């Protein structure tokens, strides 16, 4: 009897990772999404529309900034920043939501849903919901709602329904599960805008493709400015979309060292960090085969990070592959290290970075010293930190009086 | 013929209730299983708890959470299964589980130990047939005569059903509605036609699940389905009465009797 497989065993996989491990009720929607995207990616009008919104709505290309003050302060390699914080809505997330909203429109879907941790993906989804007139629902863990109140308010102002998730650890992992459940119920009229390079095939590929603009622009801008490529590229990794977008252009440039920085949290004990590359084992979570922080029984262990956006016990399958192949080196930075870097970048360079990116900054500080003055480090400044100021102020003990 | 397939007949519809192992602990769930079987269960589905059950609604999510408050190990799961099996060796037991705990334990070891514990079928909602791991697991199970039971949904087109056919045995779990597990008041209008098509494609018994809770619903669907699967409604009884074991047992047995008695060919 002939097997009628909807995709070959290798399609949608990155080495041993990736694939489509989702409930059967979602499979047809995933196949429809894959087929639609395969057509659209070659469609000139789609590419033209995407380019239009990138230039005229997001504000691309985002600048490449030489961080002169940080370079001086850290006393090592030159520091360059890819300014995704200057995009409309304040992070790289809008690159993906604009693209997926155009796909949803092409599929005739009227409703979009999303999961969000730090809220930047929620805001970016609510924004395209308003722009393209979708009914929009955003799932967000109750703990993240507390930490990222400002973004929750922004989403509501943009017309989205924000649904608090109290199950499990009430963070990104549970918001993702809840969004998948909603999608299973409403799959005929709803598109799920997955916010990172995670989830069942084709999401990791789609999200990477919409984020690779970050690396493509960076490469061009850096070459123009320096007539060479950077020696090292650093990005923070939760699910890993800004990092994947940044790395993709450099994967074949073997002289460029690529670093991913995960949340080391409060320490190495289970539940105290989100360092998937260091502590994760191969497993299946949210529809994909990837590295997952899990216990001896195969139960997923809750993750922790001071940054809601990194607080995820899995990672994109392409990252898992880049880790196992050794092309990208993954490191960790603690909560305290990230808070220190957050404050330092604010005061030295006049930029308030997202707490997620602060992890990348802290790692880059040591790397700059290690590489020395003749080298160049490019950091993906994935988003701005307005959303984090209240939480950071609380954690570093700044009272309102101090702030005034 | 597999032990599971032999439960089904043209003249009556089978009752397949579900419980989450470990809720509220591994001893009491043996009592719940016993009560359901005494009340008329023909096959019993045993849920292996998982931290991230994306295909389940709130009732089973909460059950898994309560279960995982006890120390989890696959060996405890297998031991509990063995106890249930020894009480009622003639009743086929089927695991319903997410893929990660099985993958983590190892296919061969799992298939071997599950078979010894009395398991005769597996349902894994997040393991579609078209993945490399299905081939491997399917072979491990098939060697031991354990059925791999697949889900077919209102969103599954004909060409996909034909693909699933190569890997399916025992019975087909037909998902009656979109969404996740949980009790629902209405059942979709074209259910009978969809089940009929599914039977034709697979030449296997087709049991309907997701959303069924009341005897009248079960009765109606049993007119054309070979089996009725009920999870959340059973689990709700445990949620509400689990702290009073003798009452909970009684309620489970009565509920099982009410459903079983309402099914096609089982009127008492």
CB-CB under 8 Å, B126 with A287: yes
Q: Which of B52, B61, B155 has its CB closest to that of A300? A: B52
Q: Which residues of B46-65 are buried (b: 16+ CB within 10 A; e: fewer)?
A: bbbbbbbbbbbbebbbbbbb
CB A319 within 8 A of CB A260: yes
Whether omega for the bond prior to residue B24 falls within 30 degrees of 0, making it cis, is yes
Residue B209 forms contact with A (CB below 8 Å): no
Catalytic residue check, A196: no
* DSSP assignment of B146-213: -EEEPEE-TT--HHHHHHHHTT--S-EEEE-SSSSSS--S---TTHHHHHHHHHHHH-S-EEEESS--
Distance CA A243, CA A228 (A): 21
Using a CB-CB cut-off of 8 Å, the residues of chain A touching B178 are 25, 184-188
Using a CB-CB cut-off of 8 Å, the residues of chain B touching A173 are 52
pLDDT at B47: 98
pLDDT at B171: 97
pLDDT at A97: 98
Residue B186 forms contact with A (CB below 8 Å): no
Which residues, numbered 117 to 146 in chain B, qualify as contacts with chain A under a Cβ-Cβ cut-off of 8 Å? 125-128, 130-132
For residue B268, is pLDDT > 80? no
CB-CB under 8 Å, B153 with A25: yes
Distance CA A339, CA A361 (A): 10
CB A182 within 8 A of CB B179: no
pLDDT at A148: 85
Q: Which of A24, A188, A295 has its CB closest to that of B128? A: A24
pLDDT at A3: 40
pLDDT digits (tens, 9 = 90+) for B149-162: 999 999 999 999 99
**Domain range summary for chain B, segments of one domain joined by +:** 3-179+187-262
Reported as half-sphere exposure (CB side, CA atoms, 13 A), residue A213 has a value of: 27
Residues of chain A with pLDDT under 50: 1-9, 404
CB-CB under 8 Å, A167 with B178: no
CB-CB under 8 Å, A285 with B99: no
Measured CA to CA in angstroms, residue A239 lies from A38, A83, A312 at distances of 23, 20, 7
pLDDT at B62: 94
Residue B182 or B192, more confident: B192
Catalytic residue check, A6: no
Q: Hunting for tokens 């005929």 — which residue is that?
A: A188
Average pLDDT over residues B109-127: 97
CB-CB under 8 Å, A27 with B156: yes
pLDDT digits (tens, 9 = 90+) for A42-94: 999 999 999 999 999 999 999 999 999 999 999 999 999 999 999 999 999 99
Angle at which helices A120-131 and A149-157 cross, to 10°: 10
All domains in chain A, ordered by first residue: 18-55+93-203 (3.40.50.1100), 59-90+212-399 (3.40.50.1100)
Q: Chain B closest CA to A271's CA: distance in Å?
A: 14
Using a CB-CB cut-off of 8 Å, the residues of chain A touching B157 are 28
Q: Which residues of B are catalytic?
A: 45, 56
Q: Chain A closest CA to B267's CA: distance in Å?
A: 33
Q: Chain B closest CA to A249's CA: distance in Å?
A: 30
CB-CB under 8 Å, A283 with B72: no
For residue B142, is pLDDT > 60? yes
Average pLDDT over residues B219-232: 96
Considering the four listed CATH numbers 3.20.20.240, 3.20.20.70, 3.90.1200.10, 3.40.50.2000, the one that applies to the domain covering B3-179+187-262 is 3.20.20.70
Mutate to test the interface with A, among B104, B133, B137, B150 (most CBs of A within 10 A): B104
Mutate to test the interface with A, among B63, B96, B131, B133 (most CBs of A within 10 A): B131
Q: Chain B closest CA to A20's CA: distance in Å?
A: 7
Instruction: Determine the residue of chain B that is closest to A178 in CA distance.
Output: B54
Using a CB-CB cut-off of 8 Å, the residues of chain A touching B98 are 284
CB-CB under 8 Å, B180 with A181: yes
Residue B184 forms contact with A (CB below 8 Å): no
For residue B79, is pLDDT > 90? yes
Instruction: Determine the residue of chain A that is closest to B53 in CA distance.
Output: A177
pTM for this predicted structure = 0.95
Which residues, numbered 10 to 69 in chain B, qualify as contacts with chain A under a Cβ-Cβ cut-off of 8 Å? 49-55, 57-58, 61, 65, 68
């Amino acid at each position: 009897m002939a097997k009628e497989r909807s995709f070959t065993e290798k399609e949608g996989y990155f080495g041993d990772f990736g694939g489509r491990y989702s409930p059967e009720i979602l499979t047809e929607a995933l196949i429809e999404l894959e087929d639609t995207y395969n057509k659209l990616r070659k469609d000139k009008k789609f590419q033209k529309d995407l380019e239009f919104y990138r230039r005229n709505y997001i504000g691309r290309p985002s600048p490449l900034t030489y961080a002169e003050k940080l370079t001086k302060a850290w006393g090592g390699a030159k520091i360059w920043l890819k300014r995704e914080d200057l995009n409309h809505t304040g992070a790289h997330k809008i690159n993906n939501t604009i693209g997926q909203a155009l796909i949803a429109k092409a599929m005739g879907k009227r409703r979009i849903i999303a999961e969000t941790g730090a809220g930047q993906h929620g805001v970016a989804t609510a924004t395209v919901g308003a722009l393209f007139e979708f009914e929009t629902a955003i799932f967000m863990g109750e703990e993240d709602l507390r930490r990222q109140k400002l973004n929750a308010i922004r989403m509501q102002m943009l017309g989205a329904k924000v649904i608090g998730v109290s199950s499990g650890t009430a963070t990104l992992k549970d918001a993702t599960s809840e969004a998948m459940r909603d999608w299973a119920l409403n799959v005929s009229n709803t598109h799920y805008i997955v916010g990172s390079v995670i989830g069942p095939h084709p999401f990791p590929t789609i999200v990477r493709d919409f984020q690779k603009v970050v690396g493509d622009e960076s490469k061009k801008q850096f070459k123009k400015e320096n007539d060479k490529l950077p020696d090292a590229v650093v990005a923070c990794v939760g699910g890993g979309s800004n990092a994947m977008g940044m790395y993709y252009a450099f994967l074949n440039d073997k002289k460029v060292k690529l670093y991913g920085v995960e949340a080391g949290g409060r320490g190495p004990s289970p539940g105290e960090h989100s360092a998937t590359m260091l502590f994760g084992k191969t497993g299946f979570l949210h529809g994909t085969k990837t590295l997952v922080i899990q216990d001896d029984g195969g139960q997923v262990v809750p993750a922790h990070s001071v940054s809601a956006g990194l607080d995820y016990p899995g990672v994109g399958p392409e990252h898992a592959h880049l880790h196992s192949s050794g092309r990208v080196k993954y490191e960790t930075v603690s909560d305290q290290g990230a808070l220190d870097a957050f404050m330092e970048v604010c005061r030295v360079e006049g930029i308030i970075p997202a707490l997620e990116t602060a992890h990348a900054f802290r790692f880059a500080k040591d790397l700059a010293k290690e590489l020395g003055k003749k080298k160049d480090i490019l950091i993906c400044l994935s988003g701005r930190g307005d959303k984090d100021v209240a939480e950071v102020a609380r954690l570093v003990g700044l009272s309102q009086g101090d702030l005034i | 013929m597999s032990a599971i397939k032999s439960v089904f007949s043209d003249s009556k519809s089978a009752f397949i209730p579900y419980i989450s192992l470990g809720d509220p602990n591994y001893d009491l769930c043996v009592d719940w299983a016993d009560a359901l079987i005494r009340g008329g269960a023909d096959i019993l589905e045993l849920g292996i708890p998982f931290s991230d059950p994306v295909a389940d609604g709130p009732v089973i999510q909460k059950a898994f959470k309560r279960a995982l408050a006890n120390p989890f190990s696959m060996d405890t799961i297998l031991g509990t299964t063995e106890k249930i099996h020894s009480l009622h060796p003639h009743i086929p037991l089927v695991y319903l589980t997410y893929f990660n705990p099985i993958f983590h334990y190892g296919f061969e070891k799992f298939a071997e130990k599950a078979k010894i514990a009395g398991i005769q079928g597996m349902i894994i909602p997040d393991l579609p047939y078209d993945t490399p791991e299905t081939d491997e697991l399917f072979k491990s199970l098939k060697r031991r005569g354990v059925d791999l039971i697949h889900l077919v949904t209102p969103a599954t087109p004909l060409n996909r059903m034909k693909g699933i056919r190569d890997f399916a045995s025992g019975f087909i779990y037909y998902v009656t509605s979109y969404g996740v597990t949980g009790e629902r008041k209405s059942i979709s209008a074209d259910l009978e036609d969809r089940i009929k098509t599914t039977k034709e494609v697979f030449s296997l018994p087709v049991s309907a699940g997701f959303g069924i809770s009341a005897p009248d619903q079960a009765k109606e669907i049993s007119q054309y389905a070979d089996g009725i699967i009920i999870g959340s409604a059973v689990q709700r009884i445990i949620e509400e009465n689990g702290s009073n074991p003798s009452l909970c047992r009684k309620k489970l047995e009565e509920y099982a009797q009410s459903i079983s008695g309402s099914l096609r060919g089982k009127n008492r």
